[in-house]
Amino acid sequence: MPGYEIFGEEERRHINEVLDTGVLFRYEFGEQRKGIHKVREFEEKFAAYTSSTHAQAVTSGSAALKVALMALGIGPGDEVITQGFTFVATWEAILEIGAVPVFAEIDDTLNLDPDDIENKITDKTKCIVPVHMMGAPARIEEIVAIGEKHNIPILEDTAQATGGYLHGRHLGSFGACGTFSFDSVKTLTTGEGGMIITRNADLWRKMSEYHDHGHDHAENPGGRGADGRRFFGSNYRMMELQGAIGLGQLEKLDSLIATQRTNKARLKKILSDIPGVSFRTILDEAGDNASFVTFLLPTADESRRVNEVLRAHDCGAINFSENSWHYYTHWEHLLGEKSVTRSGYPFADVDGRRRIHYDVDALPKTAAILTRTLCYPINVKMDDAHFEKIKKAIVAISA
């Protein structure tokens, strides 16, 4: 799954071009940079790759979510529907901009269940954030239709699904905007970094300004010091070295994903020999970025038994129902309303009154699915010994 496995001449070439200029900042230094604008080039090429018109590079996938939410006008008093199976960054971003995360169930895609969205919509719902978990698409066409019905924008969290698509359309391009993560273990990595794509020029301009302290980026003879400001912003700027790495990775992203698909198919065939096994619903096998292979057993007890055998053979799978970073039930800091602020915000108002509370048992369907679910991450470089180890373990499972 991680792009760092294939660092090579492409990344070095782009990095050396930056180092030759000595300019690490994405703006200004016109003469010194000699026409080298790696972040801008990365944005342009990523937008083209995803068939979008605009892309905004930022410092992380978390920053991408915050900048996108702010550009959509989301803030205090608003509710944002997302899923209870996602990395904590999804709801952290919602809380950080002052809104309230509302958690909905997942379905057999292991992504947001459209049937539960309608149950969670209120007059305070101002955004819906489906997450394309583990490289495969949510039912994004249905979710967009729900958003259009209620006039609620869709923000796609595509952090784990770079390069994935549904019915020929890239994930992240269905909603008002889509966010991506390029951290150290993502399919395309820049170490840290993120991107937001959109077809809405006004939305992109807001993101461009907000991520750079409010600079309006209008051309003027006074340079950055004379830029105007339509609103306040913050600093989520990607630097040139990250843009350079991103360009090198993007050049080989499709071949990387093709290799992952080959490895996933090989492993899935091996796992098919587990008695009673089934596999996650993938809406478009050709569009899966193949960063994980996910399989389910008939019961939670059987899932535990199978994984005990796999662990005994030194090839244990991931059980996300035991994971404290991706599963609602184990987010003790959220459920326990733990905050670093004296007031307890965002869980409490400044007057001490509770503003958010979550029930640990609020998502029974999600729990029923995840307790039966196991998965393996797929790497680019997977040797025969790894596959053989799993194959031997499965023989023991069936014994």
Please list the active-site residues.
Answer: 186
> DSSP letters of 125-141?
EEEE--B-GGG---SHH
Strand 100-104 versus strand 155-157 pairing type: unpaired
d(CA 50, CA 377): 24
Alpha carbon distances (Å) from 110 to 267, 280, 326, 373 = 19, 7, 12, 10
The token duo for 115 is 């049937």
For 325, the token pair is 């970073």
Cis status of the peptide bond prior to 346, with omega within 30 of 0: yes
Contact 208, 54 (CB under 8 A): no
CA distance 158 to 181: 7
Find out whether 61 and 183 touch, Cβ atoms under 8 Å.
yes
Environment class of 340 (CB within 10 Å of its CB; exposed 0-12, middle 13-18, buried 19+):
exposed
> Can you name the residues that pair with 106 across neighbouring β-strands?
112
Q: How far is CA 68 from its chain centroid?
A: 13
Place of tokens 């930056």: 18
